[in-house]
Amino acid sequence: MNKIEIYTRPGCGYCTHAKRLLESKGLDYSEYDTYAQPEKFQELRRRTQARTFPQIFVDDLAVGGFEDLLKLEQQNRLPK
C-alpha cells in the first residue's frame, strides 16, 4: 500500500479537488493543514521548494500539485 500525503491550506480549491480525486479512487491519504499545523508548513519547506498548494507526496516522493495528480490519474499511474 502506498503512503499518500497532501499538504493543504484553507480555502484552496485545488486542495479540495485533489482530495476529491483521491477519495473517488478509494485512496487513503494523510492531510496536513499548514495553517492549523504551522510545523507542517516548515516540514513542507524542507521537503520541496514548491510554493503552491496542494503539495502531494506518494511514498515520500513529491508528485506536485493537483494538475500533476490529475495527469497521473489520466495516465492510470495513481497508486492502486
Give per-residue pLDDT as tens, 5-21. 999 999 999 999 999 99
Buried b (16+ CB within 10 A) or exposed e, 43-80: ebeeeeeeeebbbbbbeeebbbbbebbeebeeeeebee
Q: Which residue has the cell 500500500?
A: 1
- pLDDT computed for residue 64 by the predictor: 97
36-46 per-position pLDDT tens digit: 999 999 999 99
Q: What is the pLDDT of residues 17-33, one digit of tens each?
A: 999 999 999 999 999 99
pTM for this predicted structure: 0.94
